[in-house]
Each structure stands twice: as C-alpha cells, then as structure tokens.
C-alpha cells in the first residue's frame, strides 16, 4: 500500500483547531476531502511533514508551531492607508481584500484612515490538526509538471 511521500497526490479529511481554546478554524467535514500534491509547497510546511509515511485509513493528530504553520505574526505588516485608496469599496472591519501585495484584512476604520493587516488570520498561532488519510496515489505527469493536484477527471483549476 502506498505511503505519503513527495510526488504523491493525497486526499485527507481534516479538522484544524486552536490549542489555546479548542476552537475549530477549518474543517473538511461535510465537504469533499482536501486533495494536494506533496512536496510542491501547496500546503503549510509542517502539515506535509507530519503526514509523511501515513497510509489510507491512518488517523494522525499533530500540533504545529506558528513557524511551521502560517508564520510568526509580523507587526510591520500592519499599515494605515487613506480610505480613498479603496475606490468604490467602503472598507468595513473584518473585510478581506486583495491587493498587489496579497490579501489583507481591514482591522480599524477611523473616518478617512483605514488600518489594514497583511498577516494571515492564523499567523502567530500554533495549530492542531486531526487528519484522516482517505487516498494516496502517484501523481500524473501533468500534475508533476504543473506542481499541483488535478481534480477527478483531470480537470484543470
Ligand atoms: Zn494543472
């Protein structure tokens, strides 16, 4: 039976919780399993490392440090920008918007001055994952050359 290793396409069900309070931040429950190509930086670093060698049916639980997950919180990734930079959009606290520099969250709206945070919402947090391996297969040549998994039927995404 194949084991999880680099260049395998792996499907897992997972639930991610915050060890500090047990809150679930993400889960594949009720959805299709998460499918990814191992060894091509499609996942946060610790996630693949902890699953190496696992087989279909294995259940794995692990806790990652922030460094192995979404990185340390960077206070310099907080910026204040004038609201007219948002064009037609009226910024509201909690909005997640895209920019040339990547996605950011609106954290403070103060008349004409908007505070935005480029940190990932999970930056600076350690994360616990409960993972069940549902499929492990060899990647196709297309998947290897593209560096990501293709869905059922080989459709492109
Ligand atoms: Zn592709």
Task: State pLDDT tens for residues 21-57.
Answer: 999 999 999 999 999 999 999 999 999 999 999 999 9
Q: What is the pLDDT of residue 129?
A: 98
CA 70 from centre of chain: 8
Contact 64, 46 (CB under 8 A): yes
- Cα–Cα distance between 39 and 21 in angstroms, integer? 31
**β-bridge mates for residue 82, sequence order:** 113
Domains of the chain: 8-70+122-146 (3.10.50.40), 75-117 (2.40.10.330)
Q: What is the pLDDT of residue 100?
A: 87
pLDDT single digits (tens) 11-23: 999 999 999 999 9
CA of 12 to the centre of ligand 1 (A): 20
- Cα–Cα distance between 69 and 71 in angstroms, integer? 6
Q: Give me the chain's average pLDDT, please.
A: 94
What is the DSSP code (8-state) at residue 40? S
- Sequence-separated (6 or more) residues with CB below 8 Å from residue 70: 44, 120, 122, 123, 124, 125, 127
Q: Which residues surround ligand 1, an ion (CB under 5 A)?
A: 146
CA of 139 to the centre of ligand 1 (A): 11
- Cα–Cα distance between 15 and 49 in angstroms, integer? 17
Which pLDDT band holds residue 155 (cuts at 50, 70, 90)? Answer: low
> In this structure, is the dihedral angle defined by the CA atoms of residues 122, 71, 149 and 59, taken in order, positive or negative?
negative
CA of 144 to the centre of ligand 1 (A): 9
CA of 30 to the centre of ligand 1 (A): 25
- Cα–Cα distance between 35 and 151 in angstroms, integer? 8
Residue that is written with structure tokens 């930086």 in the block: 41
pTM: 0.82
CA of 156 to the centre of ligand 1 (A): 5
pLDDT single digits (tens) 139-153: 999 999 999 999 776
pLDDT single digits (tens) 52-108: 999 999 999 999 999 999 999 999 999 999 999 898 999 999 999 998 888 999 999
- Cα–Cα distance between 12 and 70 in angstroms, integer? 19
Q: What is the pLDDT of residue 156?
A: 62
Q: What is the pLDDT of residue 36?
A: 96
Report, as an integer, the average pLDDT of 112-127: 95
pLDDT at 157 over 60: no
Q: What is the pLDDT of residue 102?
A: 87
- Cα–Cα distance between 153 and 126 in angstroms, integer? 36
Q: What is the pLDDT of residue 154?
A: 59
């Amino acid at each position: 039976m194949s084991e999880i290793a680099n260049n395998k396409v792996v499907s897992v069900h997972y639930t991610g919780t915050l060890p500090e309070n047990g809150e679930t931040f993400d889960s594949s429950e009720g959805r299709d399993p998460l499918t990814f190509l191992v060894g091509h930086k499609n996942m946060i670093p610790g996630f693949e490392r902890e699953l190496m060698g696992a087989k279909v049916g294995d259940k794995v639980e692990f806790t990652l440090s922030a460094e192995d997950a979404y990185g340390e919180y960077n206070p310099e990734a907080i910026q204040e920008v004038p609201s007219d930079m948002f064009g037609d959009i009226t910024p509201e606290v909690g909005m997640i918007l895209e920019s040339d520099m990547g996605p950011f969250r609106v954290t403070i709206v103060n008349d004409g001055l908007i505070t935005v945070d480029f940190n990932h919402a999970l930056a600076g947090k350690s994360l616990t994952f409960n993972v069940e391996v549902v499929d492990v297969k060899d990647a196709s040549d297309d998947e290897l050359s593209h560096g990501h998994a293709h869905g059922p039927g080989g459709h492109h995404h």
